[in-house]
Amino acid sequence: MLGSHFGQWLEAARKALQEIAREHPRLLGERSPENVVGWESILAEIEIGKTTLVAFRLENELLKRIDILERVLLLHRGSACGRRLSL
């Protein structure tokens, strides 16, 4: 389960990107179907080639402690530090 702040962070990030795109239109790529297919292909290769799916079990108390640590780091850093491991 992602923290409730994730949706707010995501919306703020999208708005920031839209503002950058308005201020610097040359940063936007072409919107042709070929360009879209090219980017989707690159992203799929990255996702498959550089990630590893790992499944394991942890004790509930350990997960709770990890979540508490994530919240503490979030307060100090102002942004999410990683994946949330909630029950």
Same domain for 51 and 17?
A: yes
Same domain for 61 and 44?
A: no
Query: Do residues 2 and 84 touch, judged by C-beta distance below 8 A?
Result: yes
Q: Which domain holds residue 18?
A: 9-55
pLDDT in tens, 32-43: 888 888 888 888
Same domain for 51 and 68?
A: no
pLDDT in tens, 23-78: 888 778 777 888 888 888 888 877 776 666 678 788 888 988 888 888 888 887 76
Whether 64 is covered by a domain: the verdict is yes
Report the C-alpha gap between 68 and 74 in whole angstroms. 10
Same domain for 85 and 69?
A: yes
- Taking the alpha carbons at both ends of the chain, their separation in whole angstroms is 8
Same domain for 31 and 42?
A: yes
pTM, two decimals, is 0.34
